[in-house]
A and B are shown apart, each in its own frame.
Chain A
Amino acid sequence: MSQGQSDAELRLVTPGMAIGPSAGKRIGSGAVAHDDDIIATKLGWVREFNGTVSVDPINSSYIPRSGDLIVATVAEVRNNLWFMNINGAFQGLLPMSLAPWKVEFGAARQHMGIGDVALARVQEVDECHNVVLTMKGIGLRRLNQGALLTIPVNHIDRIKGKDNSTLERLKSASDCRIIVGQNGKVWVDGDAQGIAWSRAAIEIAQRCGHKETFEAELSAHENNAPNRGEQ
């Protein structure tokens, strides 16, 4: 659900439903023009912003875009490249030249093997869905410890909160490092207690991060946080 819109403005539409006349409007994602109308193509909430009408989908798979920060898992290693599972329809390709290490031809496996998890960025996506990843950049690295969680991509904003406010609260209360990949993979690292608390907190945010009850639920959960005494 989009933020900054009151409940009264929210309108749930289903595919094929006419949202309104198309005259004078730009058409965003989740909608198409048909005759003189704007038609929803997804199940979701209608959003109108700066004259653009779109539908925020309730459910959506991860569609990679260049620049996305993602948490990826190595699926296949070749002499000079890695195929990474990025939680999308297609695997991403990480060439040796975009790895953070100086890799000899044939030595890719020594740096990352199958099942290893890495923080990467989407370098490029072409029309045929070929995805090239990079690990050159600040903070991009192999993730050697911690827990990996999967959330629907449309829940990402709930975990982050406005200007990352929720995410910062989770980090400080749990004393964990938390990275929310734009592909719906969340990395949490800290002690066992912190990870367990974060898991539960992320579930709360997923369930009611968009509701008025969220503040009360999160506050109650914070009272049981590992880091409560230091706040």
Chain B
Amino acid sequence: MGGYGDVQLLREDGLRLDGRKIDEMRPVTIEAGILPAADGSAIVTQGLNVAIAAVYGPMEAHPRKIQRQDRAVIDVRYNMAPFSTSDRIRPGYNRRSREISKVTAEALESVVLVERFPRSKIRVEIEILAAEAGTRCAGITAASVALADAGIPMRDFIVGVASGKVEDTVVLDLDKAEDNYGQADLPVGILPNTGEIAFLQMDGDLSPDEYNLAMEYNFKAAAEIHEVMVDALKRRYEGGEN
């Protein structure tokens, strides 16, 4: 147990505080091509979270020391806006955002055909405008859509999803209270077409069975979000506007 016994996260009727079933995710909306200055962009809302991603490039990698002769590097910056949380965040990089940026970049490098662009850099800027748990996942989803929107070749998308554990029960897509007072969080980045996993973090306490169930929920959610991603890109272009 996480030691937060006073906070009740599941109701008598088995539903969660916001009325969701245990394997139900928050509603997700996605729109592509929302930032005119960027080469590709997307906005993802998941519950109250708002994540925006912009892609620039490929461009020559600067400074030279980050250049790779055989492939492109993906330069990700995950950043929470100062007003995105209930207590204001001081602007600038912190350890948390640096870590998330690093593992997100490495996840994206696993799907983007980076070997097509030696010595190049692809800039991915993830900006969180409202944060209510699960922003790194919303950011990964937004980055995938923005990369596709920018015309960057990829062998698959990455969908960011998370499951966790509250009151000894595995639940899909933790909200803020569940994240704060829950017992575990398992955010992953799933390739929806191949079923592979490119992003994985976890903290808390999960039994092997609980891990398997949480993963099962994550795959189910990834399939649902993937449909919304595809729909967002088709909506932008199928009307023939571009």
CB-CB under 8 A from B120, the residues of chain A are 89-90, 129
**Residue on A with the closest CB to B234?**
A12
Question: Do A58 and B193 touch across chains, with their CB atoms under 8 A apart?
Answer: no
With A43-B149, A58-B237 known as contacts, the answer to whether A16 contacts B58 (CB < 8 A) is no
Shortest Cβ gap from A157 to chain B (Å) = 13
CB-CB under 8 A from A16, the residues of chain B are 154-157, 191-194
Please report the C-alpha to C-alpha distance between residue A90 and residue B148 in the assembled complex, in whole angstroms: 21
**Residue on B with the closest CB to A212?**
B240
Which chain A residues (75-99) contact chain B, with CB distance < 8 Å?
89-91
Question: Do A14 and B151 touch across chains, with their CB atoms under 8 A apart?
Answer: no
At the interface with chain B, which of A34-42, A109-117, A140-148, A175-183? A34-42
Please report the C-alpha to C-alpha distance between residue A6 and residue B39 in the assembled complex, in whole angstroms: 28
Partner of A60, one of B60, B151, B156, B230: B151
Question: Do A15 and B240 touch across chains, with their CB atoms under 8 A apart?
Answer: no
Question: Do B151 and A210 touch across chains, with their CB atoms under 8 A apart?
Answer: no
Which chain B residues (191-242) contact chain A, with CB distance < 8 Å?
191-194, 229-230, 233-234, 237-238, 240-242
At the interface with chain A, which of B14-22, B76-84, B96-104, B111-119? B111-119
Shortest Cβ gap from B57 to chain A (Å) = 7
Question: Do A14 and B58 touch across chains, with their CB atoms under 8 A apart?
Answer: no
With A39-B193, A41-B113, A61-B57 known as contacts, the answer to whether A129 contacts B233 (CB < 8 A) is no
CB-CB under 8 A from A90, the residues of chain B are 60, 119-120
Please indicate which of the listed interface residues B151, B152, B240 has the most CB atoms of chain A within 10 Å of its own CB: B151
With A89-B57, A90-B119, A210-B240 known as contacts, the answer to whether A42 contacts B151 (CB < 8 A) is yes
Task: Count how many chain A residues have C-beta atoms less than 8 Å from C-beta atoms of the other chain.
Answer: 30
Please report the C-alpha to C-alpha distance between residue A207 and residue B242 in the assembled complex, in whole angstroms: 7
B2 at the interface (CB under 8 A from A): no
The size bracket of the interface on B is 35 or more
Partner of A89, one of B59, B113, B241: B59
B150 at the interface (CB under 8 A from A): yes
Shortest Cβ gap from A57 to chain B (Å) = 5
Shortest Cβ gap from A76 to chain B (Å) = 13
Shortest Cβ gap from B235 to chain A (Å) = 10
With A32-B155, A41-B153, A43-B151 known as contacts, the answer to whether A14 contacts B57 (CB < 8 A) is no
Question: Do B149 and A39 touch across chains, with their CB atoms under 8 A apart?
Answer: no
B86 at the interface (CB under 8 A from A): no
Question: Do A59 and B149 touch across chains, with their CB atoms under 8 A apart?
Answer: yes
Shortest Cβ gap from A18 to chain B (Å) = 7
**Residue on A with the closest CB to B56?**
A61
Partner of A14, one of B229, B241, B242: B229
B40 at the interface (CB under 8 A from A): yes
With A14-B157, A41-B155 known as contacts, the answer to whether A211 contacts B240 (CB < 8 A) is yes
With A89-B60, A127-B118 known as contacts, the answer to whether A15 contacts B148 (CB < 8 A) is yes
With A14-B229, A39-B193, A89-B59 known as contacts, the answer to whether A57 contacts B155 (CB < 8 A) is no
CB-CB under 8 A from B149, the residues of chain A are 43, 59
Q: What 3 A-B pairs are tightest by C-beta distance, nearest first?
A: A16-B156, A59-B151, A16-B193
Known: A16-B194, A30-B153, A207-B241; 10 extra A-B contacts, CB below 8 A, are: A12-B233, A15-B148, A15-B153, A16-B155, A16-B191, A39-B155, A43-B233, A57-B151, A59-B150, A59-B151
| A-B contact list, 30 entries, CB within 8 Å | A1-B240, A12-B238, A14-B234, A15-B153, A15-B156, A16-B155, A16-B191, A16-B192, A34-B155, A42-B148, A42-B152, A43-B149, A43-B151, A58-B151, A58-B242, A59-B150, A59-B151, A60-B151, A61-B57, A61-B58, A89-B60, A89-B117, A90-B60, A90-B120, A91-B60, A128-B69, A129-B117, A129-B118, A154-B151, A207-B241
